[in-house]
Amino acid sequence: MAQLRKQLNTYMENQKSSTRIFARSLRKKQPVILQFYYQNTRGLRTKLSKFLTASACSQSDVLCITESWLQTSIADGEVVDRSYNIFRKNRDPMIGGFKRGGGVFIAVKRSIQSELVIINNNTLEQVFIKIKDSLSYIRDKLPDASLLIIGDYNLPSSISRTECTKIIYENLSMLGCQQFNNVLSNHHKTLDLCFSNAGIVLFKTPAIIEEDKLHPAIDITLEFNTHLRPEVSSSYVFKKADYDSLNNFFIRTNWTDLSKIDYIDDKLNWFYQKALRRR
């Protein structure tokens, strides 16, 4: 009985101080290379659950997606899990007049420090991010940066496609970038281009969701990040967990409140507030 009372007192003290019931240890992740995945998905709105599951299992550090067809009503947590930071540029119907289609995003593993590069008057569907310390504006600000510029360059224009292609290649060559993607579609064309001023390895890879035959999925390995500052992240030491308190927490929590929350991001935040933060 004394032992049971002692355990009960310990449990109540834990409940008063915090509901964080896992011990944490600090570890440092320092990648040797960066692994990129690119795909023109031709719409994710009907494939969100498949993409979320596939991306959670992916070994890629960075996911570059074009033609996402996402809208603001779709939360980030419906697209990728918490292991990624996501930077989105959805199609704005007020600019182009089209509600459907378009949209791009880049998702970066949280273990890698990344941030959005703000482009003034950015009316194009494009996203630039900075990893560590990414056209002439970006290169002037980051003269020593390794650049990787990838996307669907099927550009509408009043001039010919050949002339558009020439302009793109000439401007990016001024940044020291060359085009690496030689993977052909089933129509023997390359619509998705990959420019870089660093040594990369690019090859066709199995798609993580259904593949558009005009836009083969590709995998890119970029070896440049030996000076990346690793982000200190925490991990759970499950063998030191207090499983009695864990069991009591799940029994005592009123889970019906969760059904009253509409959006998945808000549901997730509710859970973490209950499980990991002070009450």
- The per-residue pLDDT for range 100-140, each reduced to its tens digit, is 788 999 999 987 888 898 887 767 888 999 876 444 545 55
Amino acid identity of residue 266, one-letter, is D
Region of 29 please: left (phi>0), alpha (psi -120 to 50) or beta.
beta
**Residue 195 above 80 pLDDT?**
yes
Extract the tokens encoding 93: 């119907």
Residue extent(s) of CATH 3.60.10.10 domains in the chain? 29-222
The pLDDT assigned to 18 comes to: 42
Whether the CB-CB separation of 254 and 68 falls below 8 Å is answered with: no
CATH architecture of residue range(s) 29-222? 4-Layer Sandwich (3.60)
- Burial group, residue 4, by CB count within 10 angstroms (0-12, 13-18, 19+): exposed
Region of 188 please: left (phi>0), alpha (psi -120 to 50) or beta.
left
pTM: 0.49
Angle, alpha carbons 239-243-247 (nearest 5°): 150
| φ, ψ for residue 223, nearest 5 deg | -100, 95
Lowest mean pLDDT among 49-53, 83-87, 187-191: 187-191
Q: Which of 54-63, 88-97, 130-139, 233-242 has the highest mean pLDDT?
A: 54-63
CA distances from 148 to 100, 142, 167, 253 (A): 27, 13, 18, 47
**Residue 66 above 90 pLDDT?**
yes
